[in-house]
Amino acid sequence: MKRYMMRIEGMTCPSCEKHITSILEQLGATSIDVSFHRGEAVFELPHANVETAKQAITAAGYEPTEAEEIEATRETYDYIIIGSGAAAFASAIEARKYGAKVAMIERGTIGGTCVNIGCVPSKTLLRAGEINFLAKNPPFAGLHTSAGAVDLASLIEQKNELVRDLRQAKYVNLIDEYGFTLIQGEAAFVDESTVEVNGKKLSANRFLIATGSAPAIPNIPGLADVDYVTSTTLLERKEVPKRLAVIGSGYIGIELGQLFHHLGSNVTLMQRSPRLLKTYDREISEAMTKALTSQGIHLLTGVSFERVEQDGNVKKIHVEIDGKKQVIEADELLIATGRTPNTAALRLEAAGVTTGSRGEIIVNDYLQTTNPRIYAAGDVILGPQFVYVAAYEGAIAAANAVGGQQKKIHLETIPAVTFSSPAVATVGLTEQQAKEKGYEVKTSVLPLEAVPRAIVNYETVGVFKLVADAKTGKLLGTHVVAEHAGEIIYAATLAIKFGLTINDLRETLAPYLTMAEGLKLAALTFDQDVGKLSCCVG
């Protein structure tokens, strides 16, 4: 008995699979795997019967090719997914809806970045930090709260337990629930239809690459010889450092820098660009700069990094700012300069998959790579790096790859949140982006000190900014710096997605003494002074 793979055109449904299987069984074939998704049959059969099988399948109205002898150990699937994060699981679940035989390959821990080392662990610790900071800095007269030294080891263990529970419930348990195969190991392409894992070859008609990303490390002299941490390793430290220096002040740098400031570290944030959150509107940058510096975080902008060195446990960052050299000393150095795609080990050239200058996989609007049989989704394509975007893309990739759909990705209205305190949330176009797209723009800027909820909370550092089409009044962008900004931004997302206007916002009742009321007040601010309105009046 030898193992063969035969391509068969004309199969359109599970009934076709059963028909082909029946023909092969009558000829004495064993280990039969017929897939109309893949358009092939894999089976074991005495060599003398192979031509007879081809003739019988032709007589049944199908179009088989010559049978190709394959390795007896090779497994075949309709859809192989490399990676096991949000994009991978969303794609596997969607593919199973079409009846596909799915394998998922993971070289490390199941669940990807979000549940293991990203969203979940950082946000639970951020909440702990906020509570500690508020206990030490209550904004209300008459409150006599305090907090002792932080037991970071206990916080980390509690965080790890939460991560284990969510990984099991939201990832591991779903493998059997949906009936796909998990294979542990490093995958590398042999050709466009085959990957090798642990020395074993696996074949599929379609693939999804969803291998995510890892912290990017900048090329600063001396950095390779320094004991630095990344967003992954910092969240495993068991003691709060007295001094934390952070290179990079994007959302990761801001969140983790503020977290350790709230836990008791003396924090310095450093960045090359002249202002914080440089891709956001200036009002957002200014509000966040004021918030961080007023809390006692040191923010250095326009920094040139000359070199880094280590003296004992002390890290020394040699910088130049406005032509003046200085040395920043810290007990812990966090590198938060973005992410780099995990593509190096995949041997993509063997599959005809092209990458960009940063190693990202290039895809079209259908999430196909330069090889149309191979798709990619999530952080590995360096689009918007949010877990909900990855899951959205993974499902679309499966619908196209396995379901025969022609769905395009639409990423025009993506809410983004930085979980700082106050939080930063944005959706739609900035003022500059709107102008670049040819809109005649009008804007509204409402300082948080005009929002009743912020006033009663004694937390008035922040801003609401709305960007609208001056001709139609349609809302184009919403940008918020405020406590609970992430809870507010979904309403703005719906408003932009469904074409609501400034008047629509004005005419909608907003509950008084909620932060979301700021959306309506900002809409009123286009042509009114809300400071001269009575409470609850709009």
Look at the alpha carbons of 269, 272, 273, 278 in this order and tell me if their dihedral is positive or negative.
negative
Give the separation between CA 435 and CA 260, rounded to whole angstroms: 38
**196 assigned binding-site residue:** no
**379 assigned binding-site residue:** yes
> 114 an active-site residue?
yes
> 13 an active-site residue?
yes
The DSSP secondary-structure symbol of 417 reads: E
Q: Which of 16, 104, 288, 515 is catalytic?
A: 16
For tokens 């007269």, name the residue.
Answer: 141
Q: Which of 98, 119, 366, 388 is catalytic?
A: 119
Q: Which of 4, 5, 6, 11 is catalytic?
A: 11
Give the separation between CA 292 and CA 284, rounded to whole angstroms: 12
**79 assigned binding-site residue:** no
Q: Which of 5, 6, 104, 114 is catalytic?
A: 114
3-state secondary structure of 178: helix
**255 assigned binding-site residue:** yes
Q: Which two tokens stand for residue 288?
A: 């966040």
**251 assigned binding-site residue:** yes
**252 assigned binding-site residue:** yes
For tokens 């337990």, name the residue.
Answer: 161
Q: What is the DSSP string of 241-302?
A: -SEEEEE--SHHHHHHHHHHHHHT-EEEEE-SSSSSSTTS-HHHHHHHHHHHHHTT-EEE-S
Backbone dihedral angles phi then psi of residue 130, each to the nearest 5 degrees = -60, -45
> 11 an active-site residue?
yes
**250 assigned binding-site residue:** yes
Give the separation between CA 70 and CA 54, rounded to whole angstroms: 17
> 366 an active-site residue?
no
> 490 an active-site residue?
no
422: cis peptide before it, omega within 30°?
Answer: yes
Beta strands in 448-526 (DSSP E): 463-469, 475-482
> 119 an active-site residue?
yes
> 228 an active-site residue?
no
Look at the alpha carbons of 178, 180, 186, 189 in this order and tell me if their dihedral is positive or negative.
negative
**488 assigned binding-site residue:** no
**212 assigned binding-site residue:** yes
**211 assigned binding-site residue:** yes
> 535 an active-site residue?
yes
**176 assigned binding-site residue:** no
Q: Which of 62, 77, 79, 171 is catalytic?
A: 62
Residues of the binding site for NAD(+): 248-255, 338
- For the annotated binding site for FAD, the residues are 123, 211-213, 379
Catalytic positions are 11, 13, 16, 62, 114, 119, 535-536
Detail the residues annotated as belonging to a binding site: 123, 211-213, 248-255, 338, 379
